[in-house]
Amino acid sequence: MLVNARDIIGGYGAIRIVNGVSFTLEAGETLALLGRNGVGKTTLLRTLMGLADRFSGTLEIDGQPVAARDPRKLARLGVTFVPDNRGVFARLTVAENIELARGCAYAETPVDVYALFPDLATRRDQPAGTLSGGQQQQVAIARALSVGPRLLIIDELSQGLQPSIVQSLTQALIEVTRQHGLALILVDQNPQLAMQICTKVMVMQRGEVVAEGASATLANDKSFLDLLIV
C-alpha cells in the first residue's frame, strides 16, 4: 500500500477544518478528491503534506510513518505536490524551475518532461513568470514530475485555464500515470474531468469524506453528482 491515511484531523492553529479523514491508495492508483468550495480539500492536502497542522491521525507512505510536519521525508519517499497557486518561480526560467527539483530527485530515471510537454521545450530559457497560466501549470507539473515521484498530488488542475490547454494537461496526466505507474491525487472543480483522469473518487463535505467509489460507476450516479452541486 502506497498511502495509508488514518483519522486525519487537521487545520490551522486552533481551527479544525479536516475532521477525521481516512483513505488508502495503492501504487499507481489515481484518486479524484472532489467537493464544493470550502469543504477542506486544500486543507486536507496541505495537512498530508505537512504544510498545515495535523492535530491527530497517522500517515504512512509505503509503510513508513510520516510525522505531522515532515515535508522532507515526504520528498525522500517520492511524494510531490503542485499547490493551487502552482508555486512557479516567476523570475527563473522554465529550465531553472525544472532543474531545481532535480536536486531532490527520487527516481534514477525521471519522467522526460520536455517530451511530455513539447510547449516547454521551445521555452526553456523563458522566465516562467512571462508564460501563460496554462504553460505555468505545465511548468509546475513538469517540476513535480522531474523528481520521478511515486505519488503526485495536484490541487486545482484546470482552474482559470482555457479548454485546449486543459485537454492537453489531461492527456499528459493520463499518459504519465499509466506509463510510470504513478499514483495521483487530483483536486479539480470539474468532476467529469477529474473522473476522466482518475479511476477512484472521493467526495468531501465539511471536512469529512461522505462518498467514495469507482469513477466509472459514480460518474453517472445522480445522487452522487448532487453532492457536488454548488
Ligand X SMILES: Nc1ncnc2c1ncn2[C@@H]1O[C@H](COP(=O)(O)OP(=O)(O)O)[C@@H](O)[C@H]1O
Nearest-approach distance from CB 189 to Mg ion, in angstroms: 9
Q: Which DSSP category does 129 fall into?
A: G
Decide which of ligand X, Mg ion, none touches 134; Cβ closer than 5 to 8 Å per partner kind: none
Report if residue 229 touches ligand X, rule: CB under 6 A.
no
Nearest-approach distance from CB 84 to ligand X, in angstroms: 7
Report if residue 177 touches Mg ion, rule: CB under 5 A.
no
Among 8, 21, 30, 35, binds ligand X (CB under 6 A): 35
| CA–CA separation, 20 and 213 (whole Å) | 18
Q: What character string, x for contact with ligand X (CB under 6 A) and - otherwise, covers 42-71? A: xx----------------------------
Q: Which is nearer to ligand X, 39 or 209 (CB)?
A: 39
Return all residues near 212 (Cβ < 8 A) that are at least 6 apart.
23, 200, 201, 202, 203
What letters, b where the CB count within 10 A reaches 16 and e where it falls short, cover 92-119? Answer: bbbbebbeebeeeebeeebbebbebbeb
| CA–CA separation, 184 and 149 (whole Å) | 10
Nearest-approach distance from CB 14 to ligand X, in angstroms: 10
Among 2, 5, 8, 17, binds ligand X (CB under 6 A): 17
What letters, b where the CB count within 10 A reaches 16 and e where it falls short, cover 180-200? Answer: bebbbbbbbbbbebbbebbeb
Question: What residues make contact with Mg ion under the rule CB under 5 A?
Answer: 41-42
Question: What residues make contact with ligand X under the rule CB under 6 A?
Answer: 12, 15, 17, 35, 37-43
